[in-house]
Structure 1
């Protein structure tokens, strides 16, 4: 993507904020540029009131390449975005949001992955199979974010995930996609699936 993506990221952040997925200053969005750098939301910004000045461009080596405000600093989770872009060269956008359903789903198992229901909506993640068996990776939520990034690198270097998404327990969903529009869609699809899973827990006798 060659055009400046920040105005689209602003619109998507506001959209997610209105859904209750980026309340307060929670969450972070990024989009990659042709030179390998990426724009990411600055730390501590209200996601419902972002402007194009609330982003920092990170160079491929991890340094700050562009900083509209001298006091602004990159999202605390920039290292996770760096890990995703290095692991998946096709990724052009990486979105991370916080939602109540995502956190509830992360508690449905003590394991390091959870089966996703074979809903029609799963096609929105690129799974075109009848009654697919698909698992979503779950990672621990460490206070030190670089530790999360390191575990993402270690885990996905050994085995690629079945879907372009991961769930951090008690924290939220992170997705990556080949385009910004796809990233927005992936978030919406995952959140739909999470709402279904939570509702299923409250529906006696439901089998899926």
Structure 2
């Protein structure tokens, strides 16, 4: 099973690249934003609480997000793999994700972070806000707050995956196809390394 964490601040291009990777590797897309917005559209209690926090540019509590991810994993046990978009956002979530995946006899292959400067992010999100209908894409103050939350809390997750030799940073500014090619190269390298590991273990046992 191939599990990829696609990382980056709001507006870095995670959604665009996710769709291309899903088609290439036949992955199930798990976006906490999409899961939460689905709850909002249904008008559930969780959705109403989440909407208030999201409109203010704040993060939804870990236990809520982790519960949704665990449910999604259980529903897609026959999947070729998952691409996690916008999750994990904290070290605690990253640790919980590792535990969840271990329970499903799998793990994160790699984390790829798209790096984009704040001014470019603000520009992109305000432009997206013209068509997305999202309140938090239409207010520059809220956008900058979301970026600040990412920089002060979420970016710490990079260190967690760096400690596992799974973190890779890529420039998120440039041609979409060029960025996509770089991502695929990194993923294929991890796939090849994982494929070699069982064989190496077998040779060691036989020796």
TM-score normalized by the length of structure 1: 0.30
- Larger Rg over CA atoms: 2
Larger % of helix: which?
2
Say which structure, 1 or 2, has more relative contact order (CA 8 Å, 6+ apart).
Answer: 2
Larger % of strand: which?
1
